[in-house]
Amino acid sequence: MPSFFQSRRTPSLLSLEPRHTDVPELRSAELAAVYYGQRMAGDFYDFIRVSPNRVLFGLLDVAGRHEESRAILAAAQETFRTVAMAAFAQEEVNEATALVDLCIEINRTILRAAGGVRSCPAFTGCYHEDLGTVCYVNAGHTPALLRHSTGITEIGATGLPFGLFSHATCDAPTIAVEPNAALLLVSRGVVEAKCKGNEFGLEGVKRSLQKTNNENARDLCVGVLSDVKEFMCTPPTHNDVTALTLLRGAAANAVATSN
């Protein structure tokens, strides 16, 4: 494992830091997320199992340096975890309504913790293991990419970034993640990576996703971040550079069985 790829494994010792939690195990699927190197800005990801067949995941990018954003992220994570457990606990829950309500509360938490406006693009999803679906909110975040049997589909914004307006609302559509499909999220630092004036961009992420094998979710994340480093011809220290992947299918099953 290259030392510059950081996965969260142990709890933080700083009270103002968000808590580092383990990734829930999934049936016939895998979730993983990876930072490149030391965090400098406001990227943060989290996962939580909210019911026997639902897992929530999120990737946030609070504007500002890490020292400025960590208390805001800690407050947002607390809201994410407490509200999610209450909202999604029932089997018959309306996922779209619950997810929109959760995002409204996270938005308000960020505004309170920041003491005013603080832009926070975010992607929050609820994966239903039995159905193989993701109900999601893309709050002004870099589009997610869904790789499936016929190509790659962009999953664009369904609302404004968090932290701008206290009464902002968003939509929460649902997508199907077919067997052997992969849903990839990357932070702004990935698409804005540059070399000689050229930007890696979302097209670079698509090329990386298209060529990467479905070995496991973490390897897919590492493959994308390695391609960013290769493109820049230097370690990407211009911003936080983060990838999060949901991988569904036989490949993920094989990995889970072997562990």
Domain boundaries, the chain: 5-258
pLDDT of residue 43: 86
User: Could you give the CA distance from residue 71 to residue 56 in angstroms, rounded to a whole number?
Assistant: 22
pLDDT digits (tens, 9 = 90+) for 152-177: 999 999 999 999 999 888 999 999 99
Cβ atoms within 10 Å of 129's Cβ, excluding its own:
18
pLDDT digits (tens, 9 = 90+) for 76-87: 999 999 999 999
5-258 placed in CATH 3.20.20.70: no
Q: What is the CA radius of gyration of the chain?
A: 17
The pLDDT mean for the chain works out to 86
pLDDT of residue 64: 85
* Mean pLDDT (whole number) for 127-134: 96
For the entire predicted model, the pTM comes to 0.87
* Mean pLDDT (whole number) for 202-223: 89
pLDDT digits (tens, 9 = 90+) for 62-119: 988 878 888 999 999 999 999 999 999 887 899 999 999 999 999 999 999 999 999 9
Angle between helices 201-211 and 217-232 (to 10 degrees): 130
Q: Decide: 47 and 59 in contact? Cβ < 8 Å.
A: no
pLDDT of residue 252: 41
pLDDT of residue 40: 63
User: Could you give the CA distance from residue 148 to residue 214 in angstroms, rounded to a whole number?
Assistant: 11
